[in-house]
Amino acid sequence: MSDIKVEFAVQMRGEHCVENVRNVLKNAGKVHIDEKKGRVTIETAEPWCILKEQIESTGRKAVLVGFGGQSAVAIINTTGSDADRTPIQGVLRFSSLTKDQAGVVVDGVVDGLTPGLHGLHVHEAGDISGGCATLGDHYNPRGSPHGSRDDEPEARHAGDLGNIRADENGRATFRFVDPVLAVWDVIGRAVAITANADDMGRGNNAQSQIDGNSGERIACGIIARSAGIMENFKKICACDGVTLWDERSKPLAGGDRAQKL
């Protein structure tokens, strides 16, 4: 598994705080801590959400502010007016392995799923005007049949990312390398999670070659560019003046956003 750099803003005061954070991350990879700037950078193969939980186990708040080099992010929900009422919520991040070649690390956490396997796919359009139904087909610039992310590029859709597994609590935490996708190709498209497992095109029917018999799209999100390492120095939200730490607990949008904490 390829290591990438992950950057967190962390509330720290004094060497004792620094040592506590360093100790919980001692098995995560190469760690650099800048106490003065409140920045923790980790070169790691661990999912970002696991690192965040480890840092916060010391009693300090942590906010992910940078991920890899060229990066993109998708906020997963069912989209539209029903978004706030669905139990399926999550975040996926895509980070380039190299500056000029294809290949991405896909890192994510999704809650609210039924336990078991669910298909994960990048779709051709970032159109959520009709919810997940208007995303178009799988992203497939080569006109290939449906397959697995382990298949050769000509034997799979570029957007075929296989399955993610939800545990007994409905959480799927995952991190893998896809050699076909490139960050600059997926920005503006969308990612979707399906109700059923993807058969990777191995089913003996026509539907298997289209979507792997993976069923209804139950959650999705538009893929947007995100900050890479050392690119996000935000301390105050310019829109409403809340601090970075207050922002962590505020909704992304809506009437509640304007309320005082």
Could you give the CA distance from residue 205 to residue 240 in angstroms, rounded to a whole number? 53
Tell me what pLDDT residue 239 has. 41
Tell me what pLDDT residue 123 has. 96
The answer, yes or no, to whether residue 1 has pLDDT greater than 60, is no
Condensed to tens digits (0 to 9), the pLDDT of residues 250-261 reads 544 444 444 433
Give the pLDDT band (50/70/90) at residue 247: very low
Q: Which of 97, 39, 32 is nearest to 232 (CA)?
A: 39
The answer, yes or no, to whether residue 192 has pLDDT greater than 60, is yes
Tell me what pLDDT residue 3 has. 75
Residue with tokens 């075929």: 160
| 9-13, 22-26, 64-68, 147-151: range with lowest mean pLDDT | 64-68
What value does the mean pLDDT of the chain take? Answer: 80
Could you give the CA distance from residue 63 to residue 201 in angstroms, rounded to a whole number? 39
Check whether domain 71-224 has CATH 2.60.40.200, yes or no:
yes
Output 12 or 168, whichever has higher pLDDT: 168
Output 35 or 138, whichever has higher pLDDT: 138
Output 50 or 78, whichever has higher pLDDT: 50
Average pLDDT on 24-48 reads 87
How many C-alpha atoms does 159 have within 13 Å on its Cβ side? 27
Tell me what pLDDT residue 86 has. 62
Q: Give the percent of the chain with pLDDT over 70.
A: 79
| 66-75, 143-152, 167-176, 198-207: range with lowest mean pLDDT | 66-75
Q: What is the CB neighbour count within 10 angstroms for residue 80? A: 13
Tell me what pLDDT residue 164 has. 95
Chain region(s) in the chain for CATH 3.30.70.100: 4-69+228-258
Tell me what pLDDT residue 112 has. 92
Write the DSSP symbol of residue 213: T
Give the pLDDT band (50/70/90) at residue 218: very high
Give the pLDDT band (50/70/90) at residue 210: confident
The architecture CATH gives domain 4-69+228-258: 2-Layer Sandwich (3.30)
Chain region(s) in the chain for CATH 2.60.40.200: 71-224
Could you give the CA distance from residue 162 to residue 37 in angstroms, rounded to a whole number? 39
